[in-house]
């Protein structure tokens, strides 16, 4: 998941990711801790906004890049 962190591999390669989905399986204690750390880091960095949560058989989240103007135009402008 660190691929999406500011300064991570995608950042270093100059890739802009506008949106992405992630599916965390039903977590055990270790995965819950990893998930918590990941969410804290993503929230702290402020690049990706988690927009849609579904936690039926695990946790599914849809993220949108709110830092890049093209991504904001594509996914958020005039949508709310």
Report pLDDT digits (tens) over 28-75: 888 888 888 988 999 999 999 998 787 777 788 999 999 999 999 998
pLDDT for 36: 87
CA neighbor of 47 nearest in space, from 22, 65, 35, 73: 65
Confidence of residue 25 (pLDDT cuts 50, 70, 90): confident
The reply to whether the predicted model has a pTM over 0.85 is no
CA–CA distance from 57 to each of 15, 23, 25 (Å)?
31, 10, 7
> In this model, does residue 80 exceed pLDDT 70?
no
């Amino acid at each position: 998941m660190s691929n999406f962190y500011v300064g991570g591999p995608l950042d270093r390669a100059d890739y802009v990711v506008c949106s992405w989905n992630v599916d965390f399986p039903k977590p055990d204690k270790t995965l819950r801790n990893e998930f918590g750390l990941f969410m804290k880091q993503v929230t702290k960095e402020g690049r990706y906004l988690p927009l849609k949560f579904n936690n039926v058989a695990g946790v599914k989240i849809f993220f949108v890049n709110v830092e890049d103007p093209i991504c904001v135009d594509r996914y958020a402008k005039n949508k709310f």
